[in-house]
């Protein structure tokens, strides 16, 4: 069997095809496919590929959360002076919002939740703020699209 066909068979295996399905596709017996799998170390190779993919996904998730934390710090740095100049109630509201966002970020980070959902939750919390809320409502769709684009 040519090398390209063996790699095609391995690719099918990676995608979840059974030995019987691979055998049917190539017109060989299931035993032949099992022999290919044993000779080619398919199980070991699949495990290595999945491990590398998991590591890359974890690294990407860490990069995304680092960016979110950085962005949240920047938002906080911009909001605190504005809120400090406002009434104490507004500052307290802003501080509470930042605390809630931080808590949510930690929760989502620990649970490995969907980042897009996290961004939507942040917006829903910020929308409740009396000064920030109206601006976010006005530009919510634009901002969410931009954040989702950045986080991909």
Structure confidence at residue 135 as a pLDDT band (50, 70, 90): confident
Q: What is the model's pLDDT at position 83?
A: 52
User: What are the tens digits of pLDDT across the range 80-131?
Assistant: 665 555 554 555 666 666 666 666 666 666 666 666 666 666 777 677 777 7
User: What are the tens digits of pLDDT across the range 55-82?
Assistant: 998 888 888 877 777 777 776 666 666 5
Maximum Cα interatomic distance, the chain, rounded to a whole number of Å: 78
Domain boundaries, the chain: 3-40, 57-151
């Amino acid at each position: 069997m040519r090398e390209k066909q063996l790699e095609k068979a391995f690719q099918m295996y990676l995608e979840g095809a059974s030995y019987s399905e691979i055998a049917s596709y190539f017109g060989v017996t299931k035993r032949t496919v099992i022999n290919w799998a044993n000779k080619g170390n398919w199980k070991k190779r699949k495990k290595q590929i999945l491990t590398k993919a998991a590591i890359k996904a974890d690294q990407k998730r860490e990069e995304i959360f680092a960016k979110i934390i950085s962005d949240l710090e920047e938002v906080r740095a911009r909001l605190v002076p504005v809120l400090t100049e406002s009434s104490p109630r507004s500052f307290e509201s802003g501080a509470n919002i930042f605390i809630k966002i931080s808590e949510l970020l930690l929760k989502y980070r620990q649970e490995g939740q969907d980042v897009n959902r996290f961004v939507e939750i942040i917006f829903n919390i910020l929308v409740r703020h009396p000064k920030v809320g109206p601006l976010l409502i006005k530009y919510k769709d634009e901002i969410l699209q931009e954040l989702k684009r950045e986080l991909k």
